[in-house]
């Protein structure tokens, strides 16, 4: 299994607060059978330049590497960012460096305010720059945009839609999540883990639910897509 959306990198965003917590989070995922993990801290272009963010990320990674020395993590680690959408994001200096390192795939968090046609135009320009956005937890935007056509437009523009594993923890969201995977609208899973308690590193139950309801082949398809995204990525630990 893989997990392409996590806030495991220590003390860089509202995720893991220290390297020890980060190690524990990675171990929990690897105990579930996760073998590839992307660390995707929040990036807000309105607050940080790409350069200063990458510097902070490298420092956080340094702390994690140090703490991981001699520890059997059980998973390969990659880095990226969860980039908050803004209009003209494609014109932010160096924005393409926010992709998962070594790839053209970028985890993109869409706005939590009403979308406009300009929103989709910006997404279009991002894809035209050769970046494939992975839309972070797309299920969370449904109550905001209301119009499902806006959501369905994203895969048409070349985006991959990622769903959070927490969607599988309660009955109605789970039923809806399964429907999106069955239809092929949802393509990827992420734990979006922030800590060990309220937003935990847990993804296997979601993969298991998909296998149980939609068949083993579906689970394999999702894992294969995540693995193929990370196949060209730079392994950092």
Residue length of the chain: 237
Show Cβ contacts of residue 232 under 8 Å, excluding neighbours closer than 6 positions.
Answer: 102, 103
At residue 76, the 3 state secondary structure works out as: strand
Greatest CA separation for the chain: 51
By CB under 5 A, residue 3 contacts Fe ion: no
In terms of CB distance, is 41 or 178 closer to Fe ion? 41
In terms of CB distance, is 82 or 139 closer to Fe ion? 82
Supply the minimum distance, in Å, between the C-beta of residue 41 and Fe ion: 9
For residue 29, give Cα distances in angstroms to 132, 158, 186, 237: 26, 29, 21, 15
Phi, psi dihedral angles at 13 (to 5 degrees): -145, -150
Supply the minimum distance, in Å, between the C-beta of residue 29 and Fe ion: 15
Residues in region 206-235 near Fe ion by CB under 5 A:
none
In terms of CB distance, is 130 or 187 closer to Fe ion? 187
Asked if 97 and 72 touch (Cβ cutoff 8 Å), the reply is no
In terms of CB distance, is 75 or 135 closer to Fe ion? 135
In terms of CB distance, is 190 or 223 closer to Fe ion? 190
Q: What is the CA radius of gyration of the chain?
A: 17
Among 43, 192, 207, 219, binds Fe ion (CB under 5 A): 192
Of 155-163, 169-177, 187-195, 201-209, which segment contacts Fe ion by CB under 5 A?
Answer: 187-195
Helix, strand counts (H, E) of the chain = 8, 9
In this chain, which residue has its C-beta nearest to Fe ion?
A: 192
Of 23-31, 92-100, 119-127, 186-194, which segment contacts Fe ion by CB under 5 A?
Answer: 186-194
Supply the minimum distance, in Å, between the C-beta of residue 91 and Fe ion: 24
In terms of CB distance, is 17 or 175 closer to Fe ion? 17
In terms of CB distance, is 3 or 32 closer to Fe ion? 3
Sheet of 42-43: strands edge to edge?
A: 42-43, 82-84, 105-109, 132-135, 160-164, 186-190
Tokens describing residue 215: 């068949």
By CB under 5 A, residue 82 contacts Fe ion: yes
Supply the minimum distance, in Å, between the C-beta of residue 103 and Fe ion: 18
Cα-Cα end-to-end distance for the chain: 17
By CB under 5 A, residue 166 contacts Fe ion: no
**What is the total count of residues that contact Fe ion (CB under 5 A)?**
2
At residue 190, the 3 state secondary structure works out as: strand
Interacting residues toward Fe ion by CB under 5 A: 82, 192
């Amino acid at each position: 299994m893989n997990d392409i959306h996590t806030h495991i990198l220590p003390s860089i965003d509202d995720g893991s607060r220290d390297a020890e917590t980060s190690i524990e989070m990675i171990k929990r995922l690897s105990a579930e059978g996760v073998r590839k993990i992307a660390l995707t801290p929040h990036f807000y272009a309105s607050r940080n330049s790409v350069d200063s963010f990458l510097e902070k990320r490298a420092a956080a990674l340094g702390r994690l590497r140090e703490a991981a020395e001699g520890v059997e993590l059980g998973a390969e680690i990659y880095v990226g960012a969860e980039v908050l959408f803004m209009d003209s994001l494609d014109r932010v200096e160096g924005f393409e460096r926010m992709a998962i390192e070594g790839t053209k795939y970028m985890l993109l968090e869409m706005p939590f305010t009403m979308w406009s046609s300009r929103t989709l135009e910006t997404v279009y320009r991002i894809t035209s720059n050769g970046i494939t956005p992975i839309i972070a937890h797309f299920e969370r935007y449904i109550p905001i945009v209301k119009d499902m056509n806006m959501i369905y437009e994203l895969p048409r523009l070349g985006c991959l839609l990622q769903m959070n594993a927490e969607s599988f923890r309660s009955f109605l969201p789970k039923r809806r999540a399964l429907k999106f995977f069955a239809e092929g609208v949802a393509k990827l899973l992420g734990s979006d883990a922030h800590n060990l308690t309220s937003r935990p590193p847990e993804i296997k139950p979601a993969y298991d639910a998909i296998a149980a309801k939609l068949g083993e082949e579906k689970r394999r398809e999702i894992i294969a897509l995540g693995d193929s995204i990370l196949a060209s990525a730079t392994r950092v630990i």
